[in-house]
């Protein structure tokens, strides 16, 4: 692990906080589960969820984009949480009904119907991973994230997204239809993207280049109705509107902290929309994109 140091200032003096990367204990798992949405953008569903094969998933949840999430914690340096998690991913895909009941009972029927089965996620959390772990997940073609943690003092926790692999998947519409439910009639974001003219396609490409270029930890997820750009959590969601020749971008910023401009930025806390984010940006030109960049950067840095 990189030699991260954290210092505390007291007046003009600075002191280094002692850090710990000891193997994860049950108490820390409980802290994760209590604050799962804040830490990982995942809504909690179950702890130590038993499978029919006698195994137990450490933490089960659903993320802000509707994807099922399995979280496994590495408590021992020799424990292979990646292989264990992959086994649970396969089990989950074969037992979708059980997961849907969990979501329905905790978050309601609408959330259960909106589950994205195209690419469930596995998040592995540990004090450290080996270079072989990092290499292995890149070869697997599954949605796997390796997250390292480090504690500083008694009340500071650092999370570092070490590796994130975003697997290519089929469209959510096809998955939904194959699962016995009726595919939605709304156009998908992929279909809207096919309708983009040259000018909007160029604007979208430049916007995406900026979003992905914020850091090596940025990944892109194509959902049914929007594109999500995230680190550990979403920091921007994008819809394309070919008929209006514009991009709608939703950022995770408090609209009260932004000087809103009519026709460009809008508070959507009480307005329904796809994806996450309370600040809507309407981007119709490269000038709009340049104006949006400082806010995009803020959302990235705060995510």
Enumerate domains of the chain plus CATH numbers.
7-165 (3.40.1350.10), 186-302 (3.90.1150)
| Backbone region of residue 162 per phi and psi (left: phi > 0; alpha: psi in -120 to 50; beta: other values) | alpha
- Which pTM value belongs to this model? 0.78
Residue 113 CA to residue 94 CA, distance in Å, equals: 17
Give the rounded distance of the alpha carbon of 164 from its chain centre: 10
pLDDT of residue 291: 96
Sort strands 42-50 and 13-16 into parallel, antiparallel or unpaired: unpaired
pLDDT of residue 172: 38
**Ranges of residues in the chain whose predicted pLDDT is under 70:** 1-4, 19-25, 77-78, 166-185
pLDDT of residue 178: 36
Where in 166-271 does DSSP place strands (E)? 219-222, 227-230, 234-241, 246-251, 265-267
């Amino acid at each position: 692990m990189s030699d991260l140091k954290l210092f505390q200032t007291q007046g003009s003096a600075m002191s280094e906080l002692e850090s710990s990367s000891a193997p994860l204990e049950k108490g820390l798992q409980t802290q994760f589960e209590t604050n799962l949405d804040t830490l990982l953008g995942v809504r909690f569903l179950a702890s130590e969820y038993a499978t029919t094969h006698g195994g137990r998933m450490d933490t089960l949840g659903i993320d802000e984009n509707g994807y099922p999430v399995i979280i496994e914690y590495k408590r021992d340096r020799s424990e292979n949480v990646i292989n264990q998690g992959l086994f649970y991913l396969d089990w989950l895909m074969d037992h979708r009904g059980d997961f849907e009941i969990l979501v329905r009972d905790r978050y309601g029927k609408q959330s259960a119907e909106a589950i994205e089965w195209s690419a469930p996620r596995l998040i592995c959390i540990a004090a450290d991973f080996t270079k072989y772990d990092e290499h292995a997940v890149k070869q697997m073609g599954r949605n796997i994230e390796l997250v390292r943690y480090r504690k500083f003092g008694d009340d500071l926790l650092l999370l570092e997204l070490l590796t994130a692999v975003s697997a290519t998947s089929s469209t959510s519409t096809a998955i939904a239809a194959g699962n016995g439910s009726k595919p939605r009639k709304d156009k998908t974001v992929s279909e809207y993207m096919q309708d983009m003219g040259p000018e909007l396609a160029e604007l979208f490409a430049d916007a995406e280049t900026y979003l992905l270029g914020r850091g090596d930890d940025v990944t892109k997820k194509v959902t049914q109705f929007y594109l999500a750009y995230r680190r550990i959590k979403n920091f921007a969601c994008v819809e394309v509107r070919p008929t209006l020749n514009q991009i709608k971008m939703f950022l995770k910023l408090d609209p009260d902290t932004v000087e809103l401009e009519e026709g460009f930025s809008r508070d959507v806390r009480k307005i329904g929309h796809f994806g996450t984010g309370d600040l809507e940006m309407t981007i119709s030109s490269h000038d709009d994109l340049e104006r949006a960049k400082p806010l995009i950067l803020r959302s990235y840095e705060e995510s």
